């Protein structure tokens, strides 16, 4: 933007993505105005760019919920704590900044309009999601906000951006079901608090006698996922399951303890290969044959061919016949209702004379798509397709040497 000697170029991006849990299908046999609903996970991102001007950005983002119907799109929650800094003389941004997230929570719902009681789908984001973001164009101990927000503070007078976010309390997608017949509420999805914060950091580091590097790291502690909950009243659950929606056994499937991480560095003085790893996680599902739960690692290739079926069979509720059912049909290659195991894609690395010009790493987490049904007297009053995709964890670094003179 102004005349100055050519400088080396650095760019780094770390991202813990928002991911999504998407709902489509029919509510109250199509009588509820509903096209789709989305629940996003809490997310964090951090980036730095440096050449003649230095720019740093970081954000911690609360879970967002939304519904789309014939009236359009309605959104709630999704509060953002964003910090921006740069050295552009024409910019109004400061050289260092920080922001704090204290998610207030929210709910949205789509319910039937005919009398009486309730049937439909309700999203609830509990209050208490926390997060911090901090940025600096020249990291020092005097900065009012430490960068990154936790761990070893940067004080090397080089750019830094960091963010972290944590879900503390449940986020739920609930089917209230008292309208046609009384079977209480059922959690189609329950997402509980994570064991620790998810973090994204991008910062410049010095390397003696060189231009230095951009160092990029991301780590995710996914909240526990409970999928396909049984109704809380009026029906007897299958053997080995529970009608209490805070019990693990209330759910057809669950993902617990999932964590992943990624690291990449680019610049003069490093040829280190980018890394990424799945650091933990278990997928558990109800097995009808044994009336018990089976657990597999989230990266087990057997998950790609897995079929899961949770079925109450026909139950008498007053004068009605009610059936609850959850389906995953991975054994059918044409089915979209399936589990896809977590994986680590090949890293990206481009080098010249022993220096990383580009480096990137990522992790694709477990993904699950299932069908959730509640039948009343042979009619599918609730028929939902639910797709769970936490999103790809990502780190990326780029280095451009300054042009040679002459």
Contacts of 172 (CB under 8 A, 6+ apart): 122, 123, 124, 187, 189, 190, 191
- The CA distance from 377 to 156, in Å, is 69
pLDDT tens-digit map of 194-213: 989 999 999 999 999 999 99
- The CA distance from 333 to 307, in Å, is 11
Reference 211, options 158, 288, 151; nearest CA is 158
Contact 179, 118 (CB under 8 A): yes
Model confidence at 5: pLDDT above 70: no
User: Which is more confident, 188 or 4?
Assistant: 188
Model confidence at 312: pLDDT above 60: yes
- The CA distance from 224 to 324, in Å, is 23
Model confidence at 404: pLDDT above 90: no
% of the chain at pLDDT higher than 90: 90
What local confidence, expressed as pLDDT, does residue 334 receive?
85
Instruction: Burial-class residue 69 by CB neighbours within 10 Å (0-12, 13-18, 19+).
Output: middle
Model confidence at 138: pLDDT above 70: yes
pLDDT bucket at 4, cuts 50 / 70 / 90: low
- The CA distance from 324 to 313, in Å, is 7
Contacts of 404 (CB under 8 A, 6+ apart): none
Q: 16 vs 75, 133, 199, 274, 311, CA distance in Å? A: 21, 13, 7, 17, 35
Buried b vs exposed e over 252-279: b needs ≥16 C-beta within 10 Å?
bbbbbebbbbbbbbbbbbbeeebbbebe
pLDDT tens-digit map of 202-254: 999 999 999 999 999 999 999 999 999 999 998 999 999 999 999 999 999 99
Model confidence at 3: pLDDT above 80: no
What local confidence, expressed as pLDDT, does residue 113 receive?
85
Contacts of 208 (CB under 8 A, 6+ apart): none
- The CA distance from 234 to 316, in Å, is 9
pLDDT bucket at 405, cuts 50 / 70 / 90: low
pLDDT tens-digit map of 60-83: 999 999 999 999 999 999 999 999
Average pLDDT over residues 320-347: 94
- The CA distance from 134 to 100, in Å, is 9
% of the chain at pLDDT higher than 70: 98
Model confidence at 403: pLDDT above 90: no
Contacts of 173 (CB under 8 A, 6+ apart): 21, 23, 37, 39, 121, 122, 123, 187, 188, 189, 190, 386
pLDDT tens-digit map of 14-59: 999 999 999 999 999 999 999 999 999 999 999 999 999 999 999 9
What local confidence, expressed as pLDDT, does residue 331 receive?
86
Q: 216 vs 38, 161, 191, 313, CA distance in Å? A: 29, 10, 28, 51
Question: Mean pLDDT for the chain?
Answer: 95
Contacts of 212 (CB under 8 A, 6+ apart): 10, 158, 204, 205, 206, 267, 268, 269
pLDDT tens-digit map of 352-387: 999 999 999 999 999 999 999 999 999 999 999 999
pLDDT tens-digit map of 81-128: 999 999 999 999 999 999 999 999 999 999 998 878 888 999 999 999
């Amino acid at each position: 933007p102004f005349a100055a000697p050519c400088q080396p170029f650095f760019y780094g991006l770390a991202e813990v993505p928002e991911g999504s849990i998407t709902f489509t299908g029919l509510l109250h046999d199509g009588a509820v105005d509903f096209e789709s609903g989305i629940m996003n996970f809490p997310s964090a991102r951090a980036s730095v760019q440096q050449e003649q001007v230095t720019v740093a950005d970081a954000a911690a983002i609360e879970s967002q919920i939304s519904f789309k119907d014939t009236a359009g799109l309605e959104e709630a929650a999704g509060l953002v704590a964003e910090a921006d800094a740069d050295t552009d003389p024409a910019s109004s941004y400061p050289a260092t900044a920080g922001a704090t997230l204290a998610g207030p929570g929210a709910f949205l719902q789509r319910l039937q309009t005919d009398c009486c009681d309730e049937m439909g789908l309700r999203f609830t984001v509990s209050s208490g999601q926390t997060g911090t973001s901090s940025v600096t164009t020249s990291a020092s101990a005097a900065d009012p906000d430490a960068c990154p927000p936790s761990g070893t503070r940067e004080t090397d007078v080089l750019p830094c951006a960091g963010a972290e976010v944590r879900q503390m309390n449940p986020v739920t997608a609930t089917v209230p079901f008292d309208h046609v017949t009384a079977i209480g509420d059922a959690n189609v999805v329950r997402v509980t608090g994570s064991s620790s914060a998810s973090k994204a950091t991008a910062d410049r580091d010095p390397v003696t006698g060189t231009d230095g590097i951009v160092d990029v790291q991301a780590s995710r502690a996914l909240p526990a996922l409970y999928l396909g909950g049984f109704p809380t009243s009026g029906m007897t659950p299958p053997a080995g399951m529970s009608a209490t929606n805070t019990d693990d056994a209330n759910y057809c499937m669950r993902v617990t303890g999932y964590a992943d991480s990624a690291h990449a560095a680019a610049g003069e003085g490093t040829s280190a290969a980018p890394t990424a790893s799945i650091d933990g996680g278990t997928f558990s599902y109800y097995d009808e044959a044994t009336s018990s739960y089976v657990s597999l690692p989230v990266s087990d290739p057997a998950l790609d061919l897995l079929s899961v079926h949770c079925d109450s069979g026909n139950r008498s509720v007053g004068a009605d016949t009610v059936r609850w059912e959850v389906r995953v049909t991975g054994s059918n290659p044409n089915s979209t209702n399936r589990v896809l195991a977590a994986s680590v894609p090949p890293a990206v690395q481009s080098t010249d004379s022993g220096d990383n010009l580009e480096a990137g790493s990522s992790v694709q987490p477990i993904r699950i798509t299932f069908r959730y049904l509640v039948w009343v007297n042979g009619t599918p009053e609730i028929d939902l397709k639910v797709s769970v995709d936490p999103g790809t964890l990502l780190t990326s670094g780029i280095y451009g040497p300054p042009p040679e003179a002459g």
